[in-house]
Amino acid sequence: MDIILVEVMVIQIFGTLKCKDTQKAIRFFKERKITPHFVDLNEKAITKGELDNITRTIPIENLLDKESKEFKKKGLEYMIFDIQETLLENPLLLKTPIVRFEKKTTLGYEPEIWKNWLKI
């Protein structure tokens, strides 16, 4: 009996279903027969470990969405605060989508980078 190894590509997408770029990221992978693991930030906060992994490739300052309604609603433009602590407490302040594959991470809609991941 032959054993066939099937390589499974695990793509993780953090975002919200209201975010157009998150919708496009999910569609990008589904069109290529890859079902991403989607984490809806409206339902589940990002963990400290996940945030630490993401910030290995993307500076934490870049993750904070200073243009979001949530940022303005909280009045953060007038405050001094710990970015990591604030993002962990309120994941809706993250720019989305955050897409992870192995140790690689992208922020925003980056189809050209994702196409390179699929060549592996």
Residue 89 maps to which CATH number?
3.40.30.10
* pLDDT band at residue 2 using 50, 70 and 90 as cut-offs: low
Closest CA to 46 of 105, 103, 86, 74: 86
Mean pLDDT of 58-83: 92
One-letter amino acid of 45: A
CA–CA distance, 81 with 79 (Å, rounded to integer): 6
Split into its structural domains, the chain has a count of 1
Beta strands across the sheet bearing 37-40: 37-40, 11-15, 98-101, 104-107
pTM of the model: 0.88
* pLDDT band at residue 1 using 50, 70 and 90 as cut-offs: low
Q: Which domain holds residue 87?
A: 11-118
Report the first-to-last Cα separation within the chain, whole angstroms: 28
